[in-house]
A and B are shown apart, each in its own frame.
Chain A
Amino acid sequence: MSVFLDHASTTPVRPKALEAYLEALAHLGNPSSVHAHGRETRELLEQAREKLAKASHCDKSEVIFTSGGTESNNHAIKGIYWQRQLDRPRKYIISALTEHHALIDPIEWLEKHEGAVPLWLPVARDGQPDLVVYEDWLAKYGDEIALVSLMWVNNETGAIWDIPGIAGLAKQYGIPVHSDAVAAFGHIEISFQDSGLAAMSISGHKLGAPIGVGALLVARSQKPISIIHGGGQERGLRSGTMNYPHALSLAIAAELAVGDMAEREARLEGLRDSLEASLLAAIPQAQKTISGPRIGHTSSFVLPGVQSDSVLFLFDQHGISVSAGSACQAGVLGASHVLLAMGYSEAESSAVIRVTLGHSTTQQDIDLFTSSIAEVYATALKAGLNR
């Protein structure tokens, strides 16, 4: 019996998205070709663009298909940063160290190679950013700020930030705001056109599309500098033969995820709450990582006195897949950089467990998880902090 409670890492492909993918794949034609075959697949691509635009409340011209969240973030961060240097130098980028590495690393790359100066916004232990500091920085650095980039929902803690509010404050200074909405889109209500954002990143495999597709929504007013050069596809921002089967499966998955969102998230929140009640009953010393607003399908705890890798190992041996902080390429679980950024100690940040539910999660999954918690924790405590 295997239980998958790591839906924030990736979630099962929705059958209809898979069907659409396979069907599209059977069509021959390069969407850029000027013959009947090309027109046929171009039509599939444009249908996908319209569907995704509708699901995210944006204009279809604002949808740029990419290979996923990391690529979208790179286009946004580097593209907007360079766009903002065209008329005058603007070196500051406001972001936070609780972001995903797919965002922190492009910013640090700009710092190292282009002279950018990141301003990392403090984040409190409740999971929320310090908006007083944010407003101070906006007032202090004003037009020297190239862009603001903050994530809508944190992938590790599930914290929801008031992105429209954050974008609204920056708007007064004419500063473009990007948001990594990979963990948010399809899970909470999002309207790109009402958000005030200049750009927003989406990833397909977090909402039921296959791995390898995503999108960057780019407001019509924005003209980011392209970081991929070639045939000029996707508004000249993302050259390369357009991946219509993947785009279509992303659009279908997004349509479905947004369509059943209210019912699904309510169901998952109920399951999540019962899971948390059982976990706290088994391990009274466990601490929820955040107390502020959070998404319904994510649960994240610090389990005092243990090492995350022991906990994950033991759950895995029970056939249960859960997660902790992010693992490096070699497969080493380090301390969660998100918790460290929120002021947690190294020991606490190395003792985190993240359980994330998804559209396929059942009560039985939760029961199997909760029935092994006490034993897993007791054994992990014995293994202690040995590393």
Chain B
Amino acid sequence: MRVLAAMSGGVDSAVAAARAVELGHEVVGVHLALSRMPGTLRTGSRGCCTIEDSMDAQRAATKLGIDFYVWDFSERFKLDVVDDFVAEYQAGRTPNPCMRCNERIKFAALLEKGLALGFDAVCTGHYASIFEDELGNLELHRSLEMAKDQSYVLGVLTSEQLKHSLFPLGATASKDLVRKEAQERGLSVANKPDSYDICFIPEGDTRDWLKDFTSAEPGVIIDEAGNQVGTHDGHVGFTIGQRKGLNLGRPAKDGKPRYVLEIRPKTKEVVVGPEAALQIAQLAGSRFSWCGKAPEHPEVEFDCQVQVRAHGDAMEASAVLENGELVINLKEKLIGVAPGQTAVLYLGTRVLGQTTIDRTVSAAVLNV
């Protein structure tokens, strides 16, 4: 196959590209320029988007003996990821920009361009595996290494995208092994720190960063009964389940901490309450997709597991397609799930599909 290896300048994508070469593919490395004004040096824990990262990726490609290019997706990235991120927060939701990037940039814009230019697949350093069932259908599965498993952020991939994806790190038992392998291959990025922050937020402070892009109008913080318990200088950046940074003067009557339960952009109100009120029993969303083969009868409720955070655990649940909405009923209560987050459905290790959460229903309302 002719493979386009997306190389961020980090160790995972470099080793993934190396393995793709070893598998006998014809590999070309590409670094995605996602910012119009890339910084010169890497700061903090961000993993890409600097000239230093681009050079690290190029050095790795040279070491592997493959051609290397930098392709500019900054406009698409701004439109599809950054603007979406800002709009979601403005609407009081909590988006996952890495998912949007996979959905619209890496496995959409990049893949489309790659296919047009004669490539067969995009290769990345994600920890996940693609298997083929007995009928030839492709399935996305969790990585062997659960601690590094990244199948969650790939939950947006469709069957067509899986056909053109290559994840050579999926069967690797640990990140340490990948670093060791990088060392053995003489890749200078072997000891480069992991990236875990949002790549376009330089200081890692989302709330502070959002201030420059959103209109921050002061509002009040109220309790579930509607009593004012504090004020805020803008609802954008609050997240459901957030406890820190609320600056509530007086403690609650029961002396227990209070959490953000709801954000109401229209009235600029932030509602807080006790932890118990965060318990969610049902999630639903209309922006859903199936990863690989879709269930034959999604309108009949079926058992599955659901995961709502990149680094969270999956919990037992059941799901059903009702009136164009994927409704997920949780068998245990989930704490602090926010609209805008993505719920990824699993069947064991297999990723079944995903939906962006439009609404949540608390356990109290469902009376379960």
Contacts and interface: CB of A to CB of B under 8 A. Distances in A.
Interface of A: 309-310, 313-314, 316-317, 327-334, 379-380, 382-384, 386-387
B120 interface: no
B117 A383 contact: yes
A314 B117 contact: yes
Contact of A382 (B67, B109, B116): B116
B75 interface: yes
19 contacts: A309-B71, A310-B117, A314-B117, A327-B70, A328-B38, A330-B33, A330-B50, A330-B51, A331-B58, A332-B72, A334-B72, A379-B118, A380-B117, A382-B116, A383-B117, A384-B116, A387-B73, A387-B75, A387-B113
A334 B71 CA distance: 10
B112 interface: yes
B67 A317 contact: yes
B143 interface: no
A281 to B, nearest CB: 24
B142 interface: no
A386 B54 contact: no
A330 B75 contact: no
Contacts of A384: 116
Contacts of B118: 379
Contacts of A314: 117
Contact of A331 (B31, B40, B50, B112): B31
B290 interface: no
Contacts of B74: 332, 387
Contact of B54 (A309, A331, A380, A383): A331
Contact of A386 (B31, B33, B70, B112): B112
Contacts of A313: 69, 117
B69 A309 contact: yes
A264 B207 CA distance: 62
Contacts of B40: 329
B70 A331 contact: yes
Nearest to A346: B75
A387 B72 contact: yes
B161 to A, nearest CB: 16
B72 A386 contact: no
A329 B51 contact: yes
B76 interface: yes
Interface string B13-54: 000000000000000100101000010100000000011001
B67 A330 contact: no
Contacts of B54: 330-331
Pick from A310, A329, A330 the residue with the most CB of B within 10 Å.
A330
A387 to B, nearest CB: 5
Given A309-B72, A313-B117, 12 more contacts: A316-B69, A317-B67, A327-B70, A330-B33, A331-B70, A379-B117, A379-B118, A382-B116, A382-B117, A384-B116, A386-B112, A387-B74
Pick from B38, B67, B116 the residue with the most CB of A within 10 Å.
B116
A359 to B, nearest CB: 27
Interface string B96-109: 00000000000001
Interface in B102-158: 109, 112-113, 116-118
A379 B72 CA distance: 18
A304 B31 CA distance: 25
Nearest to B69: A313
Pick from B28, B72, B74 the residue with the most CB of A within 10 Å.
B72
B159 to A, nearest CB: 22
Contacts of B117: 310, 313-314, 379-380, 382-383
B76 A316 contact: no
A380 B117 CA distance: 7
A310 B70 contact: no
A327 B76 CA distance: 19
A115 B147 CA distance: 56
Contacts of B109: 386-387
Contacts of A387: 71-76, 109, 113
A310 B119 CA distance: 13
A86 B31 CA distance: 49
A332 B67 contact: no
Contacts of A330: 33, 38, 50-51, 54, 70
Nearest to A312: B69
A366 B291 CA distance: 49
A386 B116 contact: yes
Interface string B192-216: 0000000000000000000000000
A383 B116 contact: yes
A28 to B, nearest CB: 36
Contacts of A317: 28, 67
